[in-house]
Chains A and B, each alone.
Chain A
Amino acid sequence: MPDDLHRLPFERPIYERETHLTELERQHTDAPTEALEEEIRKLRVEVTRRKREVFETLDPADLVKVSRHPNRPQTLDYIELIFDEFVELHGDRSFGDDRAILTGFAKLDDRQVMFIGQQKGRNMKERTEYNYGCAHPEGYKKALVRMEMAAKFGLPIICFIDTPGAYPGVGAEERGQAYHIALNLREMSQIKTPIVCVVIGEGGSGGALGIGIGDHIAVLQHAYYSVISPEGCAGILWKNSSFADQAARALKFTSKDLLRFGVVDEIVPEPLGGAHRDHRQMANFLKGSLNSALRKLCAIPLDRLVDRRYDKFRKIGMFEESAVAEAS
């Protein structure tokens, strides 16, 4: 169980009951009674009920906290839990090794794939190394080099998205953050190999989309995918980032919204209580999703796959045309 520091406020009632449950179970082991057993049984049901209640009706502002939970599994955890092998390839052929985006060969059961994933890091040391998952232009360049290589050698591509956004720094601007994201969008739309993208935590804006064009887009149940961070949106539209909770509700970026809007193809369910409560189970769910998506996509001829990808993004947008307006 995580320490107090990592407990989110709305998780408190769950943890309190779990602590109580552990205590009862200890008492029961020492001196078993029927009354105690009955109480334990009831409390277990209660804990599950509570978890379901809290997590099925998570406020978007709370969901953001879950998606950023320090114990939430990250790309490197999934590499360990899902893939049998990861051969990291560091080079971007132009500037340097951006640690915010990790790329390399990976083995998913019997399938060889090209893996691309954003890594945030958990403690200060890691976060400094991975720059909080905020990539520079060279990270996007590295991803593109790998994708082109994947197409050349017939490897399907898996992209894990987990970033608050592309890095807003001086060097990033000097080295063409905008251009490199744009280039990835253009090139990924034409890459001749299947691409599966999964938003595993934060899908922050252009920094997420920069490795997010694919044939199958999945999002974890408590992840979000948004045009801007709630803090950024509040800062601009409310002129005050303390309105982030309102912005989170206004932006409609939960997995359910995204599925309803047709922006993602699949919601990968999380273990009850969130992915941070059970990494292994989360990894199993995700592995199942990846396998079935790849099985389906690898059966589609490449030309058709690329056309299908075009149509997928082509049809996203909500507007009216006068012909439609007149009819209604």
Chain B
Amino acid sequence: MSSAQKPEVESWTGQTRRKRGVPEGLWLRCDGCQATVFRKEVDKLLGVCPECGYHFYISARQRIQQLLDEDSFEEWYADLRPLDPLGFKDKKSYPDRLRDEQKKTGMTEACLVGRGYMRGRPLVFGVTDSAFIMGSMGSVVGEKLTRAIEQATETKLPLVVVSASGGGARMHEGIFSLMQMGKTCAALARFHAAGGLFISVLTNPTMGGVAASFASLGDVVFAEPKALIGFAGPRVVQATVKSELPEGFQTSEFMMEHGFVDRIVSRSELRTEIARVIDYCVK
């Protein structure tokens, strides 16, 4: 399948980040500590700030390159394409938005699934990309993940999904998006009953309908440091409670403190940590 497709956004500071004022070139400004850091050094650290450990955005393709054995990823269901079931239009029509997002990211949708190897261990792998409509889940993301879960159930392979979905369930596909939450969770129920191992990796950001479905249901839940993780967006919570939010609210660390994340794992350790869990659970 078409795993060779080259993403347009190669680095931490592709077109998606430019609007945040990150300059192109040799140097980057870190969103975490505001320090100006050498891009090459950030690249070498897999997209982590050498000064403060801030985890920059990385694309779904980069995530695959970082986590899976070289060229081992076989992409599945790459031919699934989104439709516009509602005829949705806000400031922009949904088909126009999709076209723009596809152009911007070089992806057809917010999620890639397939089979790969991690340090020689076969697994089913899924990843969402927060650059594509906030990594939100519509019909295609829901369907790809559900098929991947079903494949993992059938082939008795462990499942690893790395979430970067600040958008939750995608509004532009309305009720269809909401129902993808039910669909993915139902598939996970069968996978779970069949004894499958699901490792869920939460990265910045994982919110709303993605957090409230498959992403929270890992047998083991990892989170990258300082990622935003939660159900309602912090601004919505702020507007509801009308008082200051607690320090570090909805960060990975906060979620671990409250029992919903098992381990905070920095990007450089993810492969090792995932492989180790697989060795404990899959015989």
Q: Which A residues fall within an 8 A CB radius of B?
A: 166-170, 172-179, 181-183, 185-187, 189-190, 205-206, 209-210, 212-213, 225-228, 232-233, 236-238, 246-247, 250-253, 257-258, 261, 263, 309-310, 313-314, 316-323, 325
Residues B178 and A320 in contact, CB atoms below 8 Å apart = no
**A179 contacts B89, CB within 8 Å?**
no
Q: Which of B170, B185, B233, B236 contacts A185 (CB 8 A)?
A: B185
Report which residue of A175, A185, A226 has the largest number of chain B beta carbons within 10 angstroms of its beta carbon. A185
Least distance between A171 CB and chain B CB atoms (Å): 9
Given contacts A186-B186, A225-B175, A318-B85, 4 further A-B contacts (CB under 8 A): A173-B237, A173-B250, A189-B185, A226-B175
A181/B231 in contact, CB under 8 A: yes
Whether A227 pairs with B236 at a CB distance below 8 angstroms is no
Contacts of A261 in B (CB 8 A): 85, 175-176
Q: Which are the 9 A-B pairs with shortest beta-carbon distances?
A: A168-B232, A185-B185, A189-B186, A317-B139, A322-B79, A178-B211, A237-B90, A177-B231, A318-B85
Q: Known: A168-B232, A170-B246, A174-B258. Contact between A186 and B185, CB under 8 A?
A: yes
- 11 A-B residue contacts at CB 8 Å? A170-B246, A170-B249, A173-B230, A177-B212, A178-B229, A182-B185, A186-B185, A213-B185, A252-B175, A310-B190, A319-B140
Nearest chain B CB to A131's CB is how many angstroms away? 11
B residues contacting A by CB (< 8 A) are: 77, 79-83, 85-91, 139-140, 142-143, 146, 169-171, 173-183, 185-190, 192-193, 208-209, 211-217, 229-233, 236-237, 240-241, 245-246, 249-250, 254, 258-260
Whether the Cβ atoms of A170 and B245 lie closer than 8 Å is: yes
Overall SS of chain A's interface? helix
Tell me whether B183 and A227 are in contact (CB under 8 A).
Answer: no
- Expressed in whole angstroms, the minimum distance between the Cβ of A267 and any Cβ of chain B is 14
Closest partner residue, chain B, to A318 (CB atom)? B85
**Which residues of chain A have C-beta atoms less than 8 A from B88's C-beta?**
250-252
- CB distance A251 to B174 under 8 Å? yes
Which residues from B are CB-within-8-Å of A253? Answer: 174-175
Q: When the two chains form their complex, are residues B182 and A213 in contact, meaning their CB atoms are under 8 A apart?
A: yes
Give Cα A53–Cα B175 distance, bound, in whole angstroms. Answer: 27
| A319 close to B178 (CB less than 8 A) | no
The residue from B87, B190, B208, B229 contacting A206, defined by CB atoms under 8 A apart: B208
